[in-house]
Structure 1
Amino acid sequence: MAAPLEERFRTIRELHPEYRVETVQGRIVVNEAGTWQHNTSLFRVMRALFAPTVERGWQIWPNITIHLGLQSDRYVPDLTVVPRSPRLHKEYAVHGDSTLLIVDVVSSGSAYDDYYVKPRGYSPAGVPLYLVVDPAQRTVRLHSEPGGLAYGRETIASVAEPLFLPAPWELPLNVAAFW
């Protein structure tokens, strides 16, 4: 008899701490370290978020599991911004509704999950803002106003326009700086 998904997830996570291990629609997904393009995009997003995050006393966490509920998947986004004292599920997992912003940089293997699957998991878990950065398309997609199975608002910005992060951020992002 196969071990429950949560047990297999924990085992793989412990065996491969250098990888991002997540469960997505009942699949265990092991992600290697990003390419230089992926990491460059991630750095540029982090650079844009760093000063406002520090000013507010928040933290940027890479490689933290997002707890979406007891019977739900476990996603590991590229970046998670959390308040001073976030509510943790385990030492490696923060509750989705205790985050301030989640960021994923799209790679060739993650596009479907980042665009379609993860927003449907984050919204019911109360993740307030989910930012999807796509270097290939040079677009940024912000999911906001979580409720039920889908976010109430999706805003897409390209290189020519800034993207406004709503409360608690109240921050315009210069999307052109991501490329």
Structure 2
Amino acid sequence: MTRAITTLSGVVSTVRDDIDTGGDRAVTAAPAYVASVEDELFEVWESLDLPNKGWRAEIIEGRIVITPPPGNEHNLIASRVHRVLARAVPEDWEIFQTAAVDTGFGNNLYIPDLVVIPQDQVVSHGTYLDGSNALLVVEITSASNADVDRTTKLRGYAHAGIPLYLLIDRFAKDQPTVTLHSRPSNDRYWDQRRVPFGEPIGIPEPFDLTLETKEF
């Protein structure tokens, strides 16, 4: 089945939602708009008319990509990570699951599964966050877009200087893994720690916590 998404600019994009994504609803999406001017692209993104708040629209390498809500398995992982983070972060930090993040990395605007940012860095009237102010981003892969999380977003988050990028890869080649990327510089993360699902992974200062993955 396909669903038509109409933007205020009159552009129509169709999104398939009948693809097996290993437990998720499909996340394969067609580009809704392509522009050479970043300001125009962001303007179109802000004008999108999505079916409901569960759908996501991101700008990935100069294209607006629309994806339907993820499945329950994906959401359960996000909820578990959110709970762990909420017990560790101070009251003046925020944890968002639907916030768009501008990394300053070309024509890209990502919506990570989780982002942690100090409250005083959240502009109340804005529509997206400045990625350079984020402390941690979390992405949980789906089958059809896992490579974007592993490569494109990896470079984007590093470009923004976000100290920690936690990649929960349900579709890693040999077995599901969790990778903590840290020490960003020159559009890459120089340190990585990877564990398979089932083993704990430490998240360093300023969080100083251990994330158990056995329930993933």
Please state if 1:22 is matched with 2:20.
no
Quote the residue 1:120 is aligned against.
155
Long gaps (5+) in structure 2: 1-33
Q: Which has the higher contact order (CA 8 A, sep 6+)?
A: 1
Moved more, 61-70 or 125-134: 61-70
Quote the residue 2:69 is aligned against.
33
Identity percentage of aligned residues: 32
1:170 maps to which of 190, 196, 208: 208
- Distance, in Å, in 2 between the alignment partners of 1:7 and 1:138 is 37
Deviation at 1:87, TM superposition (A): 4.9
TM-score by length of 1: 0.87
Distance 1:153 1:89, change over 3 A: farther
Judging by fraction of residues, say which structure has more helix.
1
Quote the residue 1:154 is aligned against.
192
Quote the residue 1:48 is aligned against.
84
- What letter matches 1:82 in structure 2? I
Contact 1:158–1:176 (8 Å) recurs in 2: no
Quote the residue 1:61 is aligned against.
96
Deviation at 1:160, TM superposition (A): 4.2
- What letter matches 1:31 in structure 2? T
- Distance, in Å, in 2 between the alignment partners of 1:151 and 1:76 is 19
Quote the residue 1:80 is aligned against.
115
- Distance, in Å, in 2 between the alignment partners of 1:27 and 1:112 is 16
Deviation at 1:99, TM superposition (A): 0.8
Deviation at 1:28, TM superposition (A): 1.0
Quote the residue 2:16 is aligned against.
none
Quote the residue 1:11 is aligned against.
47
- Distance, in Å, in 1 between the alignment partners of 2:202 and 2:41 is 38
Quote the residue 1:142 is aligned against.
180
Distance 1:157 1:89, change over 3 A: farther
How large is the Cα RMSD of the aligned pairs? 2.1
Contact 1:142–1:156 (8 Å) recurs in 2: yes
Contact 1:87–1:94 (8 Å) recurs in 2: yes
Please state if 1:91 is matched with 2:121.
no
